[in-house]
Amino acid sequence: MNYENKLEQLDQLNQDIQSSQPISADALKQIKEYFRIGLTYSSNAIEGNTLTETETKIVLEDGLTIAGKPLKDHYEASGHSEAFDCIYNLAKKKTITEKDIFNIHKLFYYRIDQANAGKCRKLPVTITGTDYLPPAPSKVPSLMKKLLAKAPGMRKKFHPVVFAAKLHMELVNIHPFVDGNGRTARLLMNLALFQAGYPITVIPPVLRGDYIALIKRSQTGKKDDTGFVNFITCMVYESSKDYLRLLRHMSEK
């Protein structure tokens, strides 16, 4: 579970991506839909959603339900897709506000639990499989404000990919919502990456075990997030390679 830091390779790859542009609006739209399906499927699957990638595509593109699959799984796919559009729109600016984060969660979650969508939890929560205890609900509002207040400084201090990874980690640690914290954190991470010119990054469900273990490692003991940050650099690197592959394919005559 040791992941090599890929920042140097990422910077070179990002240059290759920039040199491959521009491409047509239609090609960009197709790439956007490719990553919409990929991110929605993978992020939901990490949390136990049973829809396959193909089924996710059918739900989102055809508006159909999958026989034998829970209604909640369909709601999670549709909600995540709406939140995906939200981060695309928010990427046009270079800041992230508390309202942005709560709106991302609201779009993802309102079909499932309208009363708690986009709102701070009012109850204490535990996270199964870890000794980490999230902050008491009374502390959540101030912790969120503190995070957003220091975010601009973090953005200046760290490499954009490191900033995105740390933002993800900070939100997971606060655990502001009754449910959907992981998916909101991954969407937030992608918003930060997108604002910095990086493509949408997918964490494959097959790596769920490593992903969760590295989050736990950063929350307990020495609370070192180096392993998690390195993991995210690898995920961004692999997604960037995929993005460049698509760019080159869509540019073929």
Distances (CA, A) of 61 to 73, 77, 82, 233: 15, 11, 13, 30
For residues 119 and 111, what is the distance between their CA atoms, to the nearest angstrom? 14
CA distance 176 to 223: 20
Question: 206: which 2 tokens?
Answer: 């097959």
The answer to whether residues 7 and 240 touch, using CB atoms and an 8 Å cutoff, is no
Report d(CA 228, CA 107) in Å as an integer: 27
Q: Maximum distance among all alpha carbons in the chain?
A: 58
Q: Copy the structure tokens of residue 229.
A: 């940050």
DSSP secondary structure letter of residue 113: -
The helix or strand, by DSSP H or E, that contains position 209, with its residue range, turns out to be helix 208-219
* Residue type (1 letter), 72: K
Catalytic residue numbers, as ranges? 175
Token pair recorded at residue 252: 């073929």
